[in-house]
Structure 1
Amino acid sequence: MTQALNDKRVAILATDGFEESELSSPRDALKQAGAEVHVVTPKGDDIRAWAKTDWGDTYKSDKALADVNEADYHALVVPGGVFNPDELRTNEDALSFVKAFFESGKPVAAICHGPWILINAGVVDGRRMTSVPSIAQDLRNAGAEWVDEQVVVDSGLVTSRTPKDLDAFNAKLIEEIQEGRHSGQHA
């Protein structure tokens, strides 16, 4: 694969209970494309994955949320799982970090339950999105148009349903980062 993302930095925002493949697969695809990737966690502590039905591996945190801002990165990835987004959607610093990417027009990608964080950040109204079906009504209630598709792109916002969609999710994420800022990306 070409180094399409050389000189690009991407943040992956996560905490304990993220779905393991939804962090590791995009991270690996981004690195293979030449991006510098940082796992950003609320306190800078290492975090533990959820691997389908039980706790998985521990992942190194590269940065604490308090030590970064949107200007440090070209894009943001929000993995799902149930525990991870449920915890982050009540963290005001995480919500401000997410919202800043939308305000600056930068690509944001969320998969599975990850859009819960986007709902609480107030950035889904009027957007076309997908997610794991169990939060479809949450997205509709927040003003999004929810569709049941493998991957959906709406002006720099990339969403997918579940780990089975990761290949399409990763490809669209890389494409959106290559395109850069999106005027339709808004908070």
Structure 2
Amino acid sequence: MAHDLKGKRVAILATNGFEQSELLEPLKALKQANATTEVVSLEKGQIKGWNEKDWGDSVDVDKVISEVSASDYDAIVLPGGQINPDVLRTSAEIVDFVRQIYKAKKPIGAICHGPWVLIEAGVVKGLEATSYKSIKTDMINAGAKWVDQEVVVDDGIITSRNPNDLPAFCAKLIEEIAEGRHPQRQVA
């Protein structure tokens, strides 16, 4: 059964160096499910993707992080690529935004290196999750129960390993947003 996300707002947090497919495929899937999506970044204008081995296409930024709050969205997506999440996790505003989305018990999708931002926000401890293999140790050191699966959902956090996992990641992301399954999350 297809899920209709009409009325749901999703922020895709990204900056220059996002893995192109890991932003564009979730964006396309969310739009097809009738969600309102916005690319939220650190600066206005456009951000440039990374397409496997070289720079790729640019994407328009809809809002900058200073213009948004967690109450504006029903869920967020953190695309990977090495550059994108490495830069995002150094932004106190991005990290706080992710932490607020988590505390509000809203779904968070993170793929590939995207979980680096979750680590920085301190939200993976005790969760079963996956990521790109090169940050497996980072995930374990942050307290995650790392598993090698195409998509893992725990406490409303949806994680996947790489672009090959995008079909499963997008399907589970939409399902979680539609059904809002994250009741066990405890807010300190």
- The TM-score normalised by the length of structure 1 is 0.97
Distance, in Å, in 2 between the alignment partners of 1:166 and 1:185 is 25
**Is residue 179 of structure 1 aligned with residue 179 of structure 2?**
yes
Q: Distance in 1 between matches of 2:148 and 2:164?
A: 13
1:22-66 CA distance string (max 9 Å, x none): 000000000000000000001223100000000001100000100
* Residues 19-168 of structure 1 aligned to structure 2 (within 5 Å): 19-168=19-168
Asked whether the 8 Å contact 1:106–1:185 carries over to 2, the reply is: no
Q: Is the 8 A contact 1:16 1:49 kept in 2?
A: yes
Compute the displacement of 1:179 (Å): 1.2
SS where residue 27 of structure 1 aligns?
helix
Corresponding pairs, count = 187
Distance 1:63 1:25 in 2: 20
Task: Give the aligned residue type for 2:17.
Answer: G
RMSD: 1.3
Contiguous gaps of at least 5 residues in structure 2: none
Rounded to whole Å, the distance in 2 between the matches of 1:161 and 1:175 is 18
Tell me the distance in 2 between the aligned counterparts of 1:127 and 1:179: 20
Q: Encode CA deviations 1:89-108: one digit per residue, 9 max, x unaligned.
A: 11100000100111000000
In the alignment, structure 1 segments of 5+ residues that lack a partner are none
The CA deviation at 1:181 is 5.9
- C-alpha contact (below 8 Å) 1:74/1:180 kept by paired residues: no
CA contact (8 A) 2:155 2:181 kept: no
The answer to whether the Cα contact below 8 Å between 1:43 and 1:66 also exists between their aligned partners in 2 is no
Match of 1:4 in 2: 4
1:122-157 CA distance string (max 9 Å, x none) = 111001000001000000000000000000000210
Provide the secondary structure at the position in 2 that maps to 1:58: strand
Alpha-carbon separation, structure 2, partners of 1:78 and 1:113: 9
Report the alpha carbon displacement of residue 68 of structure 1 after superposing the two structures with TM. 0.4
